[in-house]
Amino acid sequence: MLVTCAIILNPQNQILVTQRSSIMHLPLKWEFPGGKIEANETPEASLIREIKEELNIDIEIIDGLSANDHHYPDKSIRLIPFICRQTGGEILLKEHADYKWLDRKDLLDLDWADADVEVVREFMGNCS
Ligand SMILES: Nc1nc2c([nH]c(=O)n2[C@H]2C[C@H](O)[C@@H](COP(=O)(O)OP(=O)(O)OP(=O)(O)O)O2)c(=O)[nH]1
């Protein structure tokens, strides 16, 4: 399953992180918002759509990071991360339990979905 996720930076270069709800797969784990790529969709178009649906905000995509393949006991995903900026809208949580803007140095303190840990490491390595 192909999943895109957005590492959204604000003007202070903090990063938006979202917490999965208790009724989702991987309940209460932190992730970068995003979701499954649908048929006939580019990864970029899918991500822009998902972020609007889940968070009510508009984003532009700045760059891509390496995809990370991860096997959960019940499913395998290829997580495809993009670095993004918010271009409009106000955050409204439609699916998630919580969100926060975090400084880069604090990212690894969260209880991440397992597939994200490698993405966080690459992002921190690239930017520090
Ligand atoms: N959106 C997103 N999903 C992630 C991340 N890390 C990670 O392991 N995942 C997993 C959680 C889900 O199993 C899948 C994304 O699916 P989704 O969020 O679109 O859909 P979902 O919960 O409806 O999935 P499903 O139960 O229908 O399979 O990828 C991440 O950073 N962002």
Considering the four listed CATH numbers 3.90.79.10, 3.40.30.10, 3.30.1330.80, 3.90.1010.10, the one that applies to the domain covering 2-127 is 3.90.79.10
pLDDT in tens, 10-44: 999 999 999 999 999 999 999 999 999 999 999 99
Q: Which atom, in ligand 1's list, is nearest to the CA of 5?
A: 32
Q: Which DSSP state fits 86?
A: E
Interface predicted TM-score of the whole assembly (ipTM), two decimals: 0.92
What are the residue boundaries of the structural domains of the chain, listed by start? 2-127
Reading the block at residue 126, the tokens are: 């690239």
Tell me, in angstroms, the distance from the centre of ligand 1 to residue 35's CA. Answer: 5
Query: pLDDT per residue over 115-126, tens digit each?
Result: 999 999 999 996
- For 75-90, how does the pLDDT look when each residue is reduced to its tens digit (9 = 90+)? 999 999 999 999 999 9
Q: What is the distance between the alpha carbons of residues 29 and 10, in angstroms, rounded to a whole number?
A: 22
Residues 47-71: tens digit of each pLDDT = 999 999 999 999 999 999 999 999 9
CA of 58 to the centre of ligand 1 (A): 20
| Ligand 1 centroid to residue 13 C-alpha, Å | 25
- pTM of the predicted protein model: 0.95
Report which DSSP code applies to 110: S
Residue 48 structure tokens? 């822009």
